[in-house]
């Protein structure tokens, strides 16, 4: 093995660190802050065609790396699911670290800190309700039904529903989840009109990421003249490697509810009331029980409450949304700003003045519909 490979190496993507030892047989350890797996040994390590090769994950998700020393760094690629991705590592130490294996799931622990997700959420639990900045929320409701919905028997889901009844909302959640699944790493359509979102799913095994599913559901709700918008739920870290997107909906009855099409999910509290997204954050902080709908589940596999609680404790430190809620709009376009709700005490020094101009500090203003 090329002795220049020995040492500790890092790349920003996925927070990946590798330690390569001067040993025979070849040995190395890997860590990913993105997943919380630290100091584990790959399935195998070997040399092939001038590369150091190592493999991780089970057979279905197997990732095979090929790297070699070049210009002071490690250059190469990995293959996974038939795709090739380039990689480049920087050297961060001449001596590899042989630390013990640890699993510190990112849903519970914050990478590179000693704090848990719940400790951070409690630390940033409050907002500045004296803040009086600009925080619009405009909705464009109704419109023409896209033809692509016909092939999915869309009309059958809503034709028996009274527009003044909350049931139409749950039927539209069923429509999305009956036909389209969640793939967190599968991406979504760049064009977020209903037709384009569905065509993306058709090209990708009926799947989209959480953002694509939430935008699709919110768009269908607004098509039926129901106020709804997708909300990005963000962790403490910025930039972050993982967030979540759900739907904030005002039911025809006037009640507020969070809908999560990635999990075919809505929640009730112990009093039997529907749970909105800001109320969900309060319940998490108070360690109060939540009750999912009977058919909740991820791609038909059932609902894992503790995992979901931990995941959303991680992803309810900050929230972001569009100021214009209209089909085809996601982010800063067509007159829409993309604003972020920032809790008291959250550090903002790393953000540019332009970014901070779209920060909102008053939760009541941010959640106004």
Number of alpha helices (DSSP H) and beta strands (DSSP E) in the chain: 9, 22
Give the number of other Cβ atoms within 10 Å of residue 111's Cβ: 16
pLDDT in tens, the chain (369 residues): 999 999 999 998 888 999 999 999 999 999 988 778 899 999 999 999 999 999 998 887 899 999 999 999 999 999 988 889 999 999 999 999 999 998 877 778 887 777 899 999 999 999 999 999 989 999 999 999 999 999 999 999 999 888 889 999 999 999 999 999 998 878 899 999 999 999 999 999 999 999 999 999 999 999 999 999 999 999 999 888 789 999 999 999 999 999 999 999 999 999 999 999 999 999 999 999 999 999 999 998 889 898 899 999 999 999 999 999 999 999 877 689 999 999 999 999 999 999 999 999 999 999 999
**SS3 (DSSP) at 259:** strand
What domains are there in the chain, each with its CATH number? Answer: 3-103 (2.40.128.20), 117-367 (no CATH)
Q: What distance in Å separates the CA atoms of residue 39 and residue 28, rounded to the nearest whole number?
A: 9
Q: What distance in Å separates the CA atoms of residue 261 and residue 169, rounded to the nearest whole number?
A: 12
Kindly state the tokens that stand for 264.
């075919």
């Amino acid at each position: 093995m090329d002795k220049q490979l020995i040492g500790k190496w890092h790349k920003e993507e996925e927070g990946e660190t590798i330690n390569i030892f001067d040993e025979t047989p070849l040995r190395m350890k890997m860590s990913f802050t993105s997943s919380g797996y630290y100091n584990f040994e790959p399935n195998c390590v070997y040399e092939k065609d001038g590369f150091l090769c190592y493999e991780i994950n089970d057979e279905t998700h197997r990732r095979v790396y090929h790297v070699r020393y070049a210009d002071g760094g490690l250059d190469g690629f990995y293959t996974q699911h038939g795709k090739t991705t380039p990689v480049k590592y920087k050297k961060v130490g001449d001596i590899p670290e042989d630390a013990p294996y640890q699993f510190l799931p990112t849903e519970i622990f914050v990478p590179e800190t000693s704090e848990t997700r719940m400790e951070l959420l409690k630390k940033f639990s409050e907002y500045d309700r004296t803040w009086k900045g600009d925080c619009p929320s405009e909705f464009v409701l109704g419109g023409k039904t896209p033809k692509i919905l016909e092939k999915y028997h869309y009309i059958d889901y809503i034709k028996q529903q009274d527009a003044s009844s909350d049931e139409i909302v749950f039927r539209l959640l069923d429509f999305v989840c009956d036909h389209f699944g969640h793939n967190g790493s599968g991406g979504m359509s760049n064009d977020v009109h209903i037709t384009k979102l569905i065509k993306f799913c058709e090209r990708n095994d009926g799947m989209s990421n959480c953002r694509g599913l939430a935008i699709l559901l919110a768009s269908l709700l607004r098509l039926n003249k129901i106020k709804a918008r997708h909300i990005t739920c963000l962790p403490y870290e910025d930039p972050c490697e993982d967030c979540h997107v759900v739907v904030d909906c005002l039911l025809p009855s006037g009640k507020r509810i969070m809908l999560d099409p990635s999990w075919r999910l809505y929640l009730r509290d112990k009093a039997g009331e529907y749970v909105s997204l800001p109320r969900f954050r309060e319940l998490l902080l108070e360690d109060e029980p939540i009750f999912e709908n009977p058919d909740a589940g991820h791609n038909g596999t059932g609902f894992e409450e503790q995992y979901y609680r931990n995941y959303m404790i991680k992803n309810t430190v900050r929230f972001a949304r569009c100021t214009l809620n209209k089909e085809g709009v996601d982010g800063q376009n067509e007159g829409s700003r993309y604003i972020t709700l920032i809790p008291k005490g959250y550090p903002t020094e790393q953000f540019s003045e332009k970014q901070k101009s779209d920060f909102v500090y008053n939760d009541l203003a941010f959640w106004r519909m």
